[in-house]
Amino acid sequence: MEAAAGSYLRDSLLRRQGGWRGGGSEREREREREMTALQLFSRGFTLTESNWNGNDPCGLKWQGVTCDEVTNTKIIGLSLSTFGLIGRLLPSVGNFINLESLDLSFNPGLTGFIPDALGNLTNLQTLNLQSCGFVGHIPSSLGNLVHLHFLALNKNQLTGNIPSSLGNLGAVTWFDLSENLISGAIPISTSDPSNVGLDNLTAAWHLHLNNNTVSGHLPKEICHLSNLIHLLLDGNNLSGAIPPEISGLSSLEILRLDNNKFEDAVPNNISQLSSLTELHLSNNSFNGMLPEMSGLQELRLLRLSMNSFSFQAIPMWLLNLTNLQTLEMDDDNLIGEVPPLLLNLPSLEALSFQSNRINGSLSLNFVTTSLTSLSLENNNITDISLYNNVQLQLSLGGNPICSDKRYQLSGDFCFIATNQQTWVPQPALCKTQCAEKIINPITCTCAFPLVVLFQFNAPSFPGINSARISSLETQLASHLNLNTNQVYAGSANFTDNHRLLMTVSIFPMEPSYALSQEQVFNIISQLSLQTVSLMYFGPFLVRPISNPPGSINHPKMRVGGVIVICGGATGAIILLAAITVYVFRRKIRAKKAEAADSFFAPWKSSTEDSGSTPNLKSARWFPYIELKKLTSDFSDSNEIGFGGYGKVYKGTLLSGETVAIKRAEKWSLQGAAEFKNEIELLSRVRHKNLVGLIGFCYDQGEQMLVYEYMPNGTLQDHLFGQKEAFDWKKRLELALDSAKGLVYLHEQTIPPIIHRDVKSSNILLDDNMVARIADFGLSRLIDDGKGHVTTQVKGTLGYLDPAYYMTQKLTDKSDVYSFGIVLFELVTAKHPIENGKFIVLEVQKALEKGVLSTCIDPSLGAYPEKDLKRLVNLALDCVVDIPNKRPSMDEVAKVLEALLNECI
């Protein structure tokens, strides 16, 4: 039975028979007060498939509600993490006067402002609102929560300044506002009339403000927080010098100041941070000579790249850092030779001196056995000694020695290495075949795992290996009280800003096929509330990717999950390009899997229409064995791409036609309805600006689509450096091509089709460099006569229409919004959300200030400034908040055509 609490509690719960009336004992009156508070609280959102029935949430143990142990009437905890809440947090939350813990994390559909009334919850010790959809300013009233120990507002879309009143949170140990759109200076007590600022957070161990737009200087007062162990300020607009008072952070282990605008010299007394294990100063404007840092004896990672240091030799004090694992000093004006003893540091694994002026001879006679990566590209090295370290990846591209015929160095050495590192686990040696379930590679059994994406914000090591994977699995199992064969770490990837993304699957113990919801909530709670400490992996954030679809122990409990749509052509790991909200219902069971198979059964014998089978027209069914043969058993040599669904392979049909075969991985299989949807849509549309479907495979538990082959990759590939860049005229042509494809879907098909996932990675280029729209897995028909369809929100973060996100009403203007974001990508070559900054806001600000050129892709070449502004204004029109004020795709296409005609 589905019970929507939001509507149930509004049906005059307190007037029902058996409900609490006025008078009675104090315990009864307490129950009534708390019931009223729940009634008002639930009006803001939709909550489905819970056990919120009856009128005694404490006695009936309502899911997510914790009551006091003494009277069992006072609500002291609300834990609705990953509940799929859609709506707003109303001011009525302030009625829970006894509340000690509020956890609404991982509910992206929970939007709007954070209410001031949260400041009324003066007993609150835990406030966890991470990874929701909150906007607006942080309420200054949160400063009233003087008993708060844990504050997590990270991964929202919060704007404005940090309220100085948050300095009143003197008991807080975890303070996280990262990955928002927060601006302004760091508030300090000496600049506040009430003498309150973040320098009053004397109990804090963790201060995370990274990936915002915080500006101004790093206040010297912050350096008095002697309990801090992690200070993460990277990815902001901080400037000025590092204050010499930095030495006051005596407990500090990780300091991230990279990707800011710091300048002046690095202070000498930074060497006094004797507990420091990681120092990140890359991508700033530090100058002068590097200070002597021999005092950093615990240092495992030192990143100093891309600064403006004076010309200097590689510092000899580096030889004293015997625990150092990672050293990066790219583009730092280094001169002279590489000291041979530096390569013999006992713990060193990766060393990078790219783009300096290092010259002379490179001696590799005494390289430590731990060193696996030595990057010296774009220097002036002219000589090299022999070496026998077979594990070492040596990169010398761009040095004179590579063109010296005396050495005849192979391409293995003379190439330009990429910094991005991936880990792909070995294939499971299991003969077990799983249908809808996922195989546990450790036990070779089938189950539904809880899959979690970890984002490690400051790993000290430079690469992933099996030993580190095993360590992580063991630590997680121990902390979460699990058996070691329940935890399986999957693919992993280092991002450009040295964060590590890793998927971890947590399987149930046999004979269960799924974790109970109680187990799921307990695991997610421990991870999100940071009660788990992972040695060597540093501070982390988590995001549930998918929850088990049901529980044999709790069959009526709601299961919520957040699916991460992944992308990237070269990685084997999920890259957080984008997030969508899915609510998995408890009826997804084995029966549904069987129904899906039978649903497709008629398709396997004939492509002719019969009964309820869809009209496939020219699309044909391919058996699994045939596609396996076409791709040489899905060999790596035939792989041409990788995305959130799995891999894409190149194959050649017997007719000689080259095709692209999109094969879904087991962990990303669509439901039968979505897979059927894409097949039906693609088989009924034909247009020169749409990728054509040739056939499909639904056989032996596989889901594959066979498309026309697009040899020139995606638009995203060309915009972000994987392939050649385009000039102004060509970008207009590609924009017009894409727009015409959407015009066809919106206005020339009956009924109209809304794509629902327009983005640069779904725009492919054929052999004539004509753009074609691809990937119709999320598309919907509009056949209700209203011009919209009400549906669950799906799409990709950054491209997702906010109006659709808020109302769940999908219209053709949702595609217009997404296309507007693509137009911004075309002129800036920046991702929709990059380092916590939203491309639309950045371009809008630049346009208003008259500095639009600062946002434009340098590789765009010459362009008419007047026409560029017209294109930017067109993009801004596409992304206005009110859908009805956006142009139609036909109107967009006409503007693009006019701009293109002016180039001819």
The token pair that represents 35 in the structure block: 């019931």
Spatial neighbors of 172 by CB under 8 A, at least 6 apart, are 148, 149, 150, 151, 201, 203, 204
**Around Cβ 893, how many Cβ atoms within 10 Å?**
21
Angular region, 265: left φ>0, alpha ψ -120 to 50, beta rest:
beta
Contact 702, 663 (CB under 8 A): yes
- Find residue 582's DSSP bridge partners: 561
User: If you ran DSSP here, which 8-state letter would residue 807 be given?
Assistant: H
Place of tokens 């109302």: 807
Could you give the angle at which helices 865-878 and 839-849 cross, rounded to 10 degrees?
140
DSSP secondary structure string, 732-783?
HHHHHHHHHHHHHHHHSSSS-EE-S---GGGEEE-TT--EEE---TT-EE--
Cα distance between the two ends of the chain:
64
**Around Cβ 493, how many Cβ atoms within 10 Å?**
22
Angular region, 134: left φ>0, alpha ψ -120 to 50, beta rest:
beta
What burial class does residue 854 get, using C-beta atoms within 10 Å of its C-beta: 0-12 exposed, 13-18 middle, 19+ buried? exposed
**Around Cβ 70, how many Cβ atoms within 10 Å?**
7
Contact 462, 347 (CB under 8 A): no
The token pair that represents 591 in the structure block: 């029966």
Report d(CA 74, CA 897) in Å as an integer.
65
Nearest to 255 by CA among 208, 216, 288: 208
Report d(CA 795, CA 798) in Å as an integer.
9
The token pair that represents 726 in the structure block: 């385009």
Contact 210, 236 (CB under 8 A): yes
Contact 854, 886 (CB under 8 A): no
Nearest to 559 by CA among 593, 512, 524: 524
- Find residue 661's DSSP bridge partners: 649, 706
Task: Give Cα separations from 93 to 22, 36, 44 (angstroms).
Answer: 23, 11, 10
Contact 380, 403 (CB under 8 A): no
Instruction: Tell me, yes or no, if 757 is annotated catalytic.
Output: yes
Torsion angles phi and psi, residue 10, rounded to 5: -80, -10
Nearest to 677 by CA among 784, 603, 793, 778: 778
Spatial neighbors of 671 by CB under 8 A, at least 6 apart, are 588, 596
SS3 assignment, position 5: helix
Report d(CA 693, CA 111) in Å as an integer.
38
Q: What element of type H or E holds 661?
A: strand 658-664
User: If you ran DSSP here, which 8-state letter would residue 718 be given?
Assistant: H
CA 156 to chain centre: 12
Number of H helices, E strands in the chain: 14, 53
Spatial neighbors of 846 by CB under 8 A, at least 6 apart, are 852, 854, 855
Q: Which of 757, 775, 801, 815 is catalytic?
A: 757
Contact 70, 606 (CB under 8 A): no
User: If you ran DSSP here, which 8-state letter would residue 830 be given?
Assistant: -
DSSP H helical ranges for 428-543: 466-479, 517-528
The token pair that represents 370 in the structure block: 């731990």
Contact 356, 331 (CB under 8 A): yes
Catalytic residue list: 757
